[in-house]
Amino acid sequence: MAVKILIAILVIFVILLVVLYFVGKKLQKKQAEQQAQIEAAKQTVTMLIIDKKKLKLKEAGLPAAVLEQTPKYMRRAKFPIVKAKVGPQILSLICDASIFDIIPVKKEVKATVSGIYITDVKGIRGKLNTAPAKKKGKFKSWVEKMQEKAGAKPLK
């Protein structure tokens, strides 16, 4: 009796793994197509970054067409939004999450833009701060303080 239950669970698990494999392949192919479209439409633009925040799409001031095309389950999620002056216009743009932290506020940058999506940022005058200073947590600073009092070498 217990063997039959284990075999049934094992069969269900194998079927689930096979389904996840094919769904993953399909999503990977879809992502590759989207990345190719982004690469084809990219332009380099000089812009002055006014502000950057993580906002919901409704609060971001993006065009209505963007809101309509976004899936319903993603409308509540917060996106990295950058408000920038491009030429004479002030635009709200969606930023790639991997570069959101290195975008300087109130500075001029050269950005690679595809539609309303910022994919890359380079500094015009000087280098950008590639690794922003990360605040230490209370526990970590407390541990370092205790090690310093004890005379131990600080961990890096």
Tens digit of each residue's pLDDT (9 = 90 or more) over 9-23: 999 999 999 999 999
Confidence of residue 139 (pLDDT cuts 50, 70, 90): confident
Query: Do residue 51 and residue 29 come from a single domain?
Result: no
CB atoms within 10 A of CB 1: 5
Tens digit of each residue's pLDDT (9 = 90 or more) over 43-57: 999 999 999 999 888
Residue 118 has pLDDT above 80, yes or no: yes
Query: Do residue 27 and residue 55 come from a single domain?
Result: no
Query: Do residue 52 and residue 115 come from a single domain?
Result: yes
**How distant is the alpha carbon of residue 85 from its chain centre?**
21
The model carries a pTM of 0.66
Query: Do residue 56 and residue 101 come from a single domain?
Result: yes
CB atoms within 10 A of CB 109: 22
Q: Are 92 and 67 in contact (CB under 8 A)?
A: no
Q: Domain count of the chain?
A: 2
Query: Do residue 10 and residue 27 come from a single domain?
Result: yes
Domain range for 1 is 1-40
Query: Do residue 4 and residue 24 come from a single domain?
Result: yes
CB atoms within 10 A of CB 34: 10
63 domain residue, yes or no: yes
CATH of the domain at 50: 2.40.50
Pair of tokens at residue 67: 């809101």
